[in-house]
């Protein structure tokens, strides 16, 4: 059973702080990793994709991948109330073309 | 350019009726996915189409569910003899490459009374 685990939260952070979202996966043979943001009542939209170990930065967002430890994380710097949403981690495991999604972490950024 | 579109946006039906949900992927995208998301739950994979290959139906929850994709573009998800537990948001996504980013449509909210 291929699992992608996320803490459901909610994770509550003050405006301007760094929000750290974590995701672990079970299959070592995983190649593609994605973070999606989903606002309440809306469909998921891509935030970041990462394929290699290390960090990948895009604006206020940084994705971190550690294949040896089988985790991927998303850091949001200078968090804004508009970042309040559910963040879904998705992993293409074992060469599958079908990503496995975590259940998502709810993030609340309070003013 | 145009994104993934889905219709209808909302569907209310009575238990036992059949429903059809439509997805128009991004032009040129060869991969198409259907998911189901129940309230407060994660995304449940249903079916995957890639080009002209046979679809991966491993996520379909029962034989009441079926899907087709005509001409490698538009897809229709059909649910026969709907049950109340079928109530959920049905999301379609397309991708330009099987391992690439998925672009989601706005979803169809299905309510079975």
The per-residue pLDDT for range A25-71, each reduced to its tens digit, is: 998 888 889 999 999 999 999 999 999 999 999 999 999 999 999 99
| A9 vs B81, more confident | B81
Specify the pLDDT at position B106. Answer: 96
Mean pLDDT of chain A: 93
Summarize the confidence of residues A60-83 as an average pLDDT.
96
| B32, B38, B39, B43: best to mutate for the A interface, most A CBs within 10 A | B43
Q: Chain B closest CA to A104's CA: distance in Å?
A: 7
| B81 vs A2, more confident | B81
- The pLDDT of residue A96 is above 90: no
DSSP symbol at B85: G
Specify the pLDDT at position B22. Answer: 98
Tell if the CB–CB gap between B104 and A32 is shorter than 8 Å: no
Tell if the CB–CB gap between B107 and A43 is shorter than 8 Å: yes
Listed residue (B45, B106, B42) closest to A99, CA to CA: B45
Q: From CA B111, how far away is CA B103, in angstroms rounded? A: 24
Cα radius of gyration (chain B): 13
The percentage of chain B sitting over the pLDDT mark of 90, rounded to a whole number, equals 80
Token readout for A93 is 């495991």
Summarize the confidence of residues B83-111 as an average pLDDT.
91
Summarize the confidence of residues B20-49 as an average pLDDT.
92
Peptide bond into B94 cis (omega under 30): no
Q: From CA B15, how far away is CA B29, in angstroms rounded? A: 34
Phi/psi for B84 (5° steps) reads -60, -35
Give Cα A67 to chain centroid, integer Å.
15
Nearest CB among B99, B103, B104 relative to A92 is that of B99
Summarize the confidence of residues B66-77 as an average pLDDT.
92
Listed residue (A18, A42, A43, A22) closest to A33, CA to CA: A22
């Amino acid at each position: 059973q291929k699992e992608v685990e996320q803490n459901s939260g909610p994770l509550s952070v003050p405006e301007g702080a760094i929000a750290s979202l974590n995701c672990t996966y079970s299959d070592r043979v995983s190649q593609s990793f994605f973070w999606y943001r989903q606002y309440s009542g809306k469909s998921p939209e891509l935030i970041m994709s990462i394929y290699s170990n290390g960090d990948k930065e895009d604006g206020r967002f940084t994705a971190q991948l550690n294949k040896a430890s089988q985790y991927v994380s998303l850091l949001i710097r200078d968090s804004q109330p508009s970042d309040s949403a559910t963040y879904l981690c998705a992993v293409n495991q074992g060469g599958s073309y079908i990503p496995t999604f975590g259940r998502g972490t709810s993030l609340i950024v309070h003013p | 350019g145009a994104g993934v579109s889905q219709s209808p946006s909302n569907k209310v039906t009575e238990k036992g009726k059949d429903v059809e949900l439509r997805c128009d992927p991004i032009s040129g995208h060869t991969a198409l996915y259907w998911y189901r998301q129940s309230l407060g739950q994660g995304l449940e994979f249903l079916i995957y189409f890639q080009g002209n290959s046979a679809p991966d139906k491993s996520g379909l929850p029962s034989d009441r569910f079926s899907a087709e994709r005509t001409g490698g573009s538009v897809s229709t998800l059909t649910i026969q003899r709907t049950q109340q537990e079928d109530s959920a948001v049905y999301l379609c996504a397309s991708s330009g490459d099987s391992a690439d980013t998925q672009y989601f449509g706005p979803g169809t909210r299905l309510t079975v009374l």
